[in-house]
Amino acid sequence: MLLPLRRLPFLAIREMIQSMNTREIFYLSLLSKNSQNLVMLSIPKDSLLAKFTFKNNYFQFELMPPGYIKNAFDYYFEERGLLELMPAGLFNHQRDMFPDVPYKDEFLLTRVSTDSLYVQCDFRSYSDNSEVEESIRKLFDYFSNTFKKSEISIEFGDGTREEFAIEILRFAWENDFKLDRIYLFLHNASSQSFQELLNWCNEQHTFLHIRTKAPMGFKCTPPPGGYKFKSLLVHDAHWVNLDDFMQCREFRSSLLTDFPDLTVEYLNDLLKKIVNMECKFENFLFKLDLIETSDFPEIVRGLSERILQFC
């Protein structure tokens, strides 16, 4: 049964949408351009979490309440492609918006949790051409604009083209999307891409996880006052100057040996800054596996016994 949305006042529609579960909101957003706009305008800010995952010829969109815990055994599949779920002849705007490709019956399948709070859409292609990226780009454009008021998480997995990943991020930044979590898991990336990522993502609400190799010799150019991420996790840290990241609330790295010029004296001074609240670190973590045991007293020199209990 179709809802007579055009006959209802907007306040009534907004209240109705805000009382819906995730599955209902998701499918309502697909009904028409008008329904999409109503969903866009009605859902409260940060009331949903929208996750976008990009991999080689693969795209996934997930929608759920923030903090929702997924259970792998609690889903059921929609047996048909997403376009086939739409009544014939009614929703031409989706057929124009969503890509019409040779593998259209398989291009996007959905699954929903049994509690209707979690929706997942998967697009996969075994082709390798520019049409696949264009299809993914259109899907991201549609879902990200519809749910731009949600908390947004973006992950770029290995196999994603670097230029395509940066293009997606630019689209998000230029449209003022609030990117809460960004995962860059490419094999490697250029100095320009690294610098652009750091500059554009530098927000106090942003969690940035980089598992991508930076070019040897790359040194980032920080903004005045340094970077201020909510959280920064890096695996390849040869390009990191910790002094540039003192305004971050959390910094973590799995490899101490990659840090340039990380002396015993520097570590001691850094710990004192953290203790004396001369920086914003609330959580600072990296491995000390390769530090000589004999150096530890110098690293913690001047710290109180109470503080040493946490070292």
Ordered mean pLDDT values, 10 residues apiece, the chain (311 residues): 66 91 93 90 96 94 94 65 43 42 53 91 79 88 95 95 96 93 95 95 93 91 94 89 91 69 82 83 76 81 70 58
Q: Are 74 and 113 in contact (CB under 8 A)?
A: yes
Q: Are 225 and 249 in contact (CB under 8 A)?
A: no
pLDDT at 43: 95
pLDDT at 13: 86
pLDDT at 12: 86
CA–CA separation, 139 vs 108, rounded Å?
A: 9
pLDDT at 90: 34
CA–CA separation, 24 vs 17, rounded Å?
A: 8
Give the torsion through C-alpha atoms of 139, 140, 142, 146, to 10 deg: 140
CA–CA separation, 169 vs 189, rounded Å?
A: 14
Question: Which phi and psi angles does 4 have, rounded to 5°?
Answer: -80, 65
Domain extent listing, the chain: 45-308
